[in-house]
Structure 1
Amino acid sequence: MSRIAMFGIDVAAAGLLVFALYFPRHRRRDLVAAYLVVNVGVLAVASALSTSRVGAGLGLGLALFGVLSIIRLRSTELDQHEVAYYFSSLAIGLITALGTDVAPVAGLLGLLLAVVYVGDHPRLFRSYGHQIVVLDTAVTDPAALRAQLERLLGARVHAAAVQRLDLVNDTTVVEVRFSRRPRTAAAPPAGSPDSADPAGSAEPVAAAPAGGHR
Structure 2
Amino acid sequence: MTAWFWYALFIDIAAVTTMAVVIYYRRHRRSDLMFAYIALNIGVFSVASLMLTQQVELAVAFGLFGVLSIIRLRSDAISQREIGYYFTALALGLITSIGSGHPLAMTGFAALLPLVLYIADHPRFSGSVERCSITLDRVVQDPAELEAELSRRLRGRVVQTKTDRVDYVRDTMLVEVKYRPWPADRPVAPVYADR
Regarding TM over 0.5, the answer is yes
Residue of 3, 8, 11 corresponding to 1:9? 11
Change (3 A) 1:29 1:137: closer
- Helix, strand or coil at the partner of 2:49: helix
In 1, the alpha carbon distance for the partners of 2:163 and 2:33 equals: 32
Give ranges in structure 2 of 5+ residues lacking alignment: none
Change (3 A) 1:2 1:53: closer
Alignment of 1:62-211 (within 5 A): 62=64, 64-65=65-66, 67-68=68-69, 71-72=72-73, 77=76, 79-80=78-79, 83-99=83-99, 100-121=101-122, 124-126=126-128, 128-184=129-185, 205-209=188-192
Which structure's CA Rg is the greater one? 1
- The structure with the largest helix share of the pair is 2
- Helix, strand or coil at the partner of 1:134: strand
Identity %: 35
| TM-superposed deviation, 1:125 | 1.4
Residue of 45, 48, 62 corresponding to 1:46? 48
In 2, the alpha carbon distance for the partners of 1:145 and 1:36 equals: 37
In 1, the alpha carbon distance for the partners of 2:5 and 2:98 equals: 10
| TM-superposed deviation, 1:139 | 2.5
TM-score, structure 1 length as denominator?
0.65
Give ranges in structure 1 of 5+ residues lacking alignment: 186-203
Q: What is the root-mean-square deviation of aligned Cα atoms in Å? A: 3.5
Change (3 A) 1:105 1:173: same
In 1, the alpha carbon distance for the partners of 2:189 and 2:25 equals: 39
- Helix, strand or coil at the partner of 1:39: helix
In 2, the alpha carbon distance for the partners of 1:180 and 1:158 equals: 10
Change (3 A) 1:120 1:180: same
Task: Judge conservation of contact 1:156–1:178 (CA < 8 Å) in 2.
Answer: yes
Change (3 A) 1:143 1:56: closer
Task: Judge conservation of contact 1:18–1:35 (CA < 8 Å) in 2.
Answer: yes
- Helix, strand or coil at the partner of 2:41: helix
Change (3 A) 1:97 1:147: closer
TM-score, structure 2 length as denominator?
0.70
In 1, the alpha carbon distance for the partners of 2:156 and 2:60 equals: 51
Task: Judge conservation of contact 2:134–2:175 (CA < 8 Å) in 1.
Answer: yes
